[in-house]
């Protein structure tokens, strides 16, 4: 998958010094878990080609896109499975945008989505305010192509904002900055090169994007601006509608606000990593994001073989947090707003685990010792504090069923240097390997909490 922090340009655009300082706030670092919500017109057809991915090549990856939320693009590719299916089910004259009249969410759908996110233990929720199809889920003055004026007949982002904050969570908003297929006239995207070439960079579109983002800032003061796939180049120069000015307005409205790294400018907030495995503890805070299955938007074809179950989701969160990341895990509701059972069950199991072991993740920081930069197999570490302020090392054993874990000599020495001398866990002499035993009651990830020496590096 693409990493975005090094995509800068065009020539003559505002330098990094023109932008405000985009720090990653402590509330975000402490939260560890967010819930992404991909919900839109694409939830009506709810389909992507996932039944057999073995034959997918770089040349056919866009025609056979695994993301259901890309339906508006995939359906326009001649010969794609999506187009063939669409014409068979809906007829030749049926356009993607006609789904705007077919989308009728249940009245209490958003309350149910937010309740599930809260029970999962999330600290923030990020619904899609506008995806690449250009359909706005808030009541925008910039276009009639909105949930308020079409099928739903409601300002869905206003409902997300009130429900999320009432539940005590922070609100982020996803916005597709450089892609808006509703107001563009390009052929369908068929490659990564097209992704950045077939997009509008003119001043009129930059002003349109700025107006929409300003509406979201002014109306909802989102704690996170989560932009996707760059920004129109004309908006990267200095001026009243520039991206630098929009960032300043966002931070004025939300002083501890956060932005991501997908703007295509020489500065960034949190790094994003989509469907990527991170192999080592990172110096810079990152956010891992993925769907519970192969898609972000709901795909009715997905089954258990495509999805993370509860234990896999728990281990993913532990792995990401230990390496200096947050996990933004996605749910793709059905068109009516209900969450498929596979997704709901995994999130509920995660919430149950966090209810017991959450202190080993929330509010913690990575252990940056060189011996564990690449963690030993089956073991992850975080540094935190107890309720009374004492520093601890949390050792997270990913597979309790495997039994005792024996750390190698280098990691054992690092643990002994950090952990209080009073620890007596049958480790033996100083040159013996450290042995860690999971608690018998732990079935998924077991946590061993070790007190630190009185003199240690700050957490």
The tens digit of pLDDT for each residue in 375-407 reads 999 999 999 999 899 999 999 999 999 999 999
Average pLDDT, the chain: 95
The tens digit of pLDDT for each residue in 162-202 reads 999 999 999 999 999 999 999 999 999 999 999 999 999 99
Q: Is the pLDDT of residue 238 over 70?
A: yes
CB of 51 within 8 A of CB of 301?
Answer: yes
The tens digit of pLDDT for each residue in 1-52 reads 788 888 888 999 999 999 999 999 999 999 999 999 999 999 999 999 998 8
At residue 87, the pLDDT reads 97
Q: Facing residues of 33 across strands?
A: 327
Q: Is the pLDDT of residue 413 over 80?
A: yes
The tens digit of pLDDT for each residue in 77-94 reads 999 999 999 999 999 999
At residue 51, the pLDDT reads 81
List domains and CATH numbers for the chain.
Answer: 16-360 (3.20.20.80), 365-451 (no CATH)
At residue 342, the pLDDT reads 95
At residue 425, the pLDDT reads 55
**Residue 459 — very low, low, confident or very high, per pLDDT cuts 50/70/90?**
very low
């Amino acid at each position: 998958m693409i990493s975005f922090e090094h995509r800068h340009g065009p020539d003559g655009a505002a330098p990094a010094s023109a932008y405000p300082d985009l720090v990653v706030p402590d509330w975000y670092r402490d939260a560890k878990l967010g819930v992404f919500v991909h919900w839109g017109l694409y939830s009506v057809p709810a389909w992507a080609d996932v039944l057999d991915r073995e034959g997918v090549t770089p040349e056919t990856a866009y025609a056979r896109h695994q993301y259901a939320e890309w339906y508006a693009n995939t359906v326009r590719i001649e010969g794609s499975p999506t187009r063939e299916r669409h014409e068979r089910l809906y007829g030749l004259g049926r356009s993607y945008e006609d789904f705007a009249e077919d989308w009728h969410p249940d009245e209490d759908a958003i309350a149910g989505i937010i309740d599930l996110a809260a029970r999962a233990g999330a600290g923030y929720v990020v619904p899609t305010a506008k995806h690449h199809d250009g359909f706005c889920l808030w009541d925008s003055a910039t276009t009639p192509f909105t949930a308020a004026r079409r099928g739903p007949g409601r300002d869905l982002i206003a409902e997300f904002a009130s429900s999320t904050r009432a539940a005590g969570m922070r609100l982020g908003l996803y916005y597709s900055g450089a892609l808006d297929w509703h107001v563009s006239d390009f052929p369908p995207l068929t490659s990564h090169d097209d992704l950045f070439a077939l997009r509008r960079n003119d001043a009129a579109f930059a002003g349109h994007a700025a107006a929409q983002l300003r509406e979201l800032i002014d109306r909802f003061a989102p704690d996170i601006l989560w932009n996707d796939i760059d920004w129109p180049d004309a908006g990267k120069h200095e001026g009243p509608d520039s991206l630098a000015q929009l960032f300043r307005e966002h931070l004025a409205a939300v002083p501890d606000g956060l932005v991501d790294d997908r703007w295509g400018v020489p500065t960034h907030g949190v790094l994003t990593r989509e469907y990527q495995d991170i192999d080592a503890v990172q110096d810079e805070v990152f956010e891992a994001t993925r769907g519970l299955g192969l898609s972000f938007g709901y795909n009715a074809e997905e089954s258990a073989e495509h999805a993370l179950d509860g234990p896999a989701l728990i281990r993913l969160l532990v792995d990401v947090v230990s390496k200096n990341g947050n996990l933004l895990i996605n749910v793709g509701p059905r068109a009516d707003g209900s969450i498929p059972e596979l997704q709901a069950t995994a999130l509920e199991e995660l919430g149950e685990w966090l209810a017991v072991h959450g202190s080993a993740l929330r509010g913690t920081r990575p252990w940056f010792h060189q011996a564990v930069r690449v963690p030993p197999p089956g073991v992850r570490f975080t540094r935190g504090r107890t309720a009374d302020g004492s520093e601890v090392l949390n050792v997270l054993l990913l597979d309790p069923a495997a039994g005792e874990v024996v750390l190698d000599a280098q990691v054992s020495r690092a643990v002994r240097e950090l952990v209080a001398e009073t620890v007596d866990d049958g480790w033996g002499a100083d040159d013996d390997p450290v042995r860690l035993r999971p608690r018998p009651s732990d079935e998924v990830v077991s946590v061993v909490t070790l007190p630190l020496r009185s003199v240690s590096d700050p957490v």
